[in-house]
Amino acid sequence: MTLTYKTIGAAVCGAAVLMAVATLRAQTAEAFTATAAVKGAGGASATAPVTINVDRKMSQGEADKLAAAFKAGGAAALRKALAGVPPTGTVRIGTQPPTPTRITIERVTGAGRLLTIVTDQALLFVGAGLPGAKSQAGYDFAVIDIEVDAKGGGSGTIAPAAKIKMNGNAFVVEDYGVEAVRLTAVKKTK
């Protein structure tokens, strides 16, 4: 069974409906810590610390260009459009080296704000070492959604290895892993 996240919706590349409610905040750097937690069907579980640094959030114009590229040519066109775009920050899982994030979009929510963060490479293939694991081909991105309240606390999800597709005007994230990876204890540290 493959988990499909629809929370990224139009946020990955700024589709008009959701981006119309986007609010660009001051471009001050932020840092967050969280715990990534996954529970397998057999009862096994694992956790790892996650550190997310946001150096900048994308402007509406940047997001629109990336959305147009994806609509025109899919993931390959998005990757090409990202060439030369400065990273928006970094994400680190456990003791791995930090991975540059390529898209960071912020939207206002009822509880605060939602940050959707995308890397142009997989961070981790959860379950890849299990017997009968599926091919890793095409799982070339990672997608993080964190909802943060006014005090800087929150929760979210992470698809550490994902395919991004489009269904109508909505972006859909297909996670490599069978089980959802939850981000708990999200805390703004800077």
Residues of the chain with pLDDT under 70: 1-27, 41, 168-170
- What residue ranges do the domains of the chain occupy? 4-188
In this prediction, residue 27 carries a pLDDT of 56
pLDDT given at position 73: 92
pLDDT attached to residue 14 = 39
For position 169, what pLDDT does the model report? 64
* Integer Cα distance of 171 and 173 in angstroms: 7
Per-residue confidence (pLDDT) for residue 111, from 0 to 100: 87
Q: Which of 156, 128, 154 is nearest to 7 (CA)?
A: 156
The confidence score (pLDDT) of residue 12 equals: 44
pTM: 0.82
- Specify the pLDDT at position 11: 40
| Secondary structure element (H or E) that encloses residue 16, with its range | helix 16-19
**Residue 10's pLDDT is what?**
36
Question: From CA 131, how far away is CA 10, in angstroms rounded?
Answer: 35
Taking the C-alpha atoms of residue 164 and residue 142, their distance in angstroms, rounded to an integer, is 9
Q: Quote the pLDDT of residue 53.
A: 97
> Are 51 and 92 contacting, i.e. CB atoms less than 8 angstroms apart?
yes
Q: How high is the pLDDT of residue 17?
A: 30
Query: For 46-73, how does the pLDDT look when each residue is reduced to its tens digit (9 = 90+)?
Result: 899 999 999 999 988 888 888 889 989 9
d(CA 89, CA 55): 5
